[in-house]
Amino acid sequence: MNRRDFSKHSLMLGMGVLAGLPKGSRARALNQSMNYYAEPVKKLPVRKFDVVVAGAGTAGVVAALAAARQGAKTALIEVKGYPGGTVTEGGTALHSFYNLWKAFPGVKKRQVVRGIPQEIIDRLLKVGGTSGHAEMSKGYDFDSVCTAIDTEIYKLVTFEMLAEAGVFVCVNTLLAGAIMDGSRVRGVIAESRSGREAFYAKAFVDCTGYGDLAAYAGAEYTEPNDYAVVNSIGVGNVSIDKYYEFLKSHDAIYQQAEGWRSGKDGQIVRIQGRTVKLPAGFREGARKIGMSTVTTTVHDNYFMFIKLNLKMPVSPTNRDEVAKAELELRRRQAKAIELFKEYVPGCEKAFIARTSPKLCIRRGRLIKCDYDISHEDVIEGRHFDDDVMAYGFHDSAPRLQVKDGGTYGIPYKALRVAGVENLLVAGMMITSDHRAHMSTRNTVSCMGQGQATGTAAALCARKNRGTRELRYADLRRALKNGGVYFES
């Protein structure tokens, strides 16, 4: 799809009444029945920055911190009221700061993602907001550690870090367009209750997950729709120890990790059950609502999270189909609570303590970049001349693992948007191969990509250069100074 198609597509999505019609007849009906309103031309106030980061999620927080610490005047635009994104809304633990050493006897344990992502964990540790890097005692063919977080503390801690770094944080602000000068992004349009504004900058990083900025900038993209969407629930008034006993009594424990929980070390912070071994009523009920049995926590009486999955028939960029999915997911959440109450001792008075403000996606748009990380790159543990980080986790493990418990490199070229001079992307929107994406999309990978893109954008802005004119040696030096780990 290109920019013109994107705008046309956006208009079509407004036609909820036509949503049920097949594609061809929908387009014909549109041409016949659509009324158009021509927006009057408006003069927008302009704010000027060195770097604009779109989306204050998993990758965007780190990108903005990295850019600001390079001395760039940095703006961060986030539609929700807090930073954090999917790391605070979707998953169970941050995968993974380490290589898969436990699954490969003799392989050296090493922390392969450090820098700003680790700094966030250090800050969380100080305020009881994480389990720490808790070693897996069971299921370590999947990951060697479990790093669980208190998602509310994560939002506060990262917000404070952004303020300390001097980032101009615009929450409750929607990125609604791009201002192009040929193949160069000159600025973005930001919408909030303070009005519609233009933010000019020299370099841009799209961390919206959906690739909104890249799409507005006319980048090529596809919408693979190859994952289920989710609205995970935080479940309160439960006992993690009794859930563990329940799974154990059915000989169903697959994963287990012990770490910091409610201020005490050595406590269970992650468990996952083998569903086939659980009572038929629970198992069948869970299957019908796409519920997974894995949970993590840093509190004795809380599950963070229980995931409810739903496979949508179309891409999650379709507003009207998303509305249907939002309702269905909330129905599934209520059923999930009923299952826990009925089957799991200690959960008789369970309730939904939190939900995500909107459903979470594993990918929306896939943005075309200068390089596409392949399945072989990941599992063969390949590194590149322009590596910006190393990464060793695969969400399909143990079926698919990075060779010999090693790492592969994420190259800088995989983060440069094809055809656009000054736009980088970080997060779930890179990597077309589903199997490779099952690795690159995970939180700690996104955070590392954030540090790489934020640093690169700041260096480009300093010299007023495009992303392809940046000397790799300069980028690598700056990343090393920022604590980023490279395999030697």
Ligand X SMILES: Cc1cc2nc3c(=O)[nH]c(=O)nc-3n(C[C@H](O)[C@H](O)[C@H](O)COP(=O)(O)OP(=O)(O)OC[C@H]3O[C@@H](n4cnc5c(N)ncnc54)[C@H](O)[C@@H]3O)c2cc1C
Contact region with ligand X (CB under 6 A), list: 3-11, 84-92, 411-419, 467-475: 84-92
Output 70 or 442, the one with its CB closest to ligand X. 442
Output 148 or 484, the one with its CB closest to ligand X. 148
Peptide bond just before 340 cis, omega within 30 deg: no
Of the residues 51, 67, 72, 93, which one makes contact with ligand X according to CB under 6 A: 93
Residue pair 374/433 in contact (Cβ under 8 Å)? The answer is yes
Residue pair 179/198 in contact (Cβ under 8 Å)? The answer is yes
Residue 56 dihedral angles phi and psi, to the nearest 5°: -100, 50
Of the residues 51, 60, 130, 397, which one makes contact with ligand X according to CB under 6 A: 60
Of the residues 70, 151, 158, 232, which one makes contact with ligand X according to CB under 6 A: 232
Determine if 174 is a binding residue for ligand X (CB under 6 A): yes
Q: How far apart are CA 62 and CA 104, in angstroms?
A: 31
Determine if 12 is a binding residue for ligand X (CB under 6 A): no
Distance of closest approach, residue 190 Cβ to ligand X, in angstroms: 8
* Two tokens, residue 405: 């418990």
Determine if 273 is a binding residue for ligand X (CB under 6 A): no
Q: How far apart are CA 335 and CA 231, in angstroms?
A: 13
Determine if 59 is a binding residue for ligand X (CB under 6 A): yes
Of the residues 70, 92, 118, 318, which one makes contact with ligand X according to CB under 6 A: 92
Output 28 or 311, the one with its CB closest to ligand X. 311
Q: Which residue has the tokens 């669980």?
A: 148
Q: How far apart are CA 243 and CA 270, in angstroms?
A: 11
Of the residues 69, 73, 80, 202, which one makes contact with ligand X according to CB under 6 A: 80
Of the residues 51, 72, 76, 87, which one makes contact with ligand X according to CB under 6 A: 87
What is the pattern of x (binds ligand X, CB under 6 A) and - over residues 396-435? -------------------------------xx-------
Of the residues 269, 310, 336, 360, which one makes contact with ligand X according to CB under 6 A: 360
Of the residues 50, 68, 91, 457, which one makes contact with ligand X according to CB under 6 A: 91
Output 91 or 409, the one with its CB closest to ligand X. 91
- Provide the sign of the torsion angle of the four alpha carbons 260, 261, 263, 267, taken in this order: negative
Amino acid (1-letter code) at residue 149: I
Q: How far apart are CA 436 and CA 19, in angstroms?
A: 33
Contact region with ligand X (CB under 6 A), list: 57-65, 347-355, 384-392, 402-410: 57-65
Of the residues 74, 86, 99, 131, which one makes contact with ligand X according to CB under 6 A: 86
Helices 115-126 and 151-164 cross at an angle (nearest 10°) of 120
How many residues of this chain interact with ligand X, rule: CB under 6 A?
Answer: 39
Output 78 or 328, the one with its CB closest to ligand X. 78
Residue pair 440/410 in contact (Cβ under 8 Å)? The answer is yes
Distance of closest approach, residue 147 Cβ to ligand X, in angstroms: 9
Of the residues 114, 307, 382, 416, which one makes contact with ligand X according to CB under 6 A: 307
Determine if 210 is a binding residue for ligand X (CB under 6 A): yes
State the residues that interact with ligand X by CB under 6 A.
54-60, 77-80, 85-87, 90-95, 174-175, 207-210, 212, 230, 232, 307, 360-362, 427-428, 441-443, 446
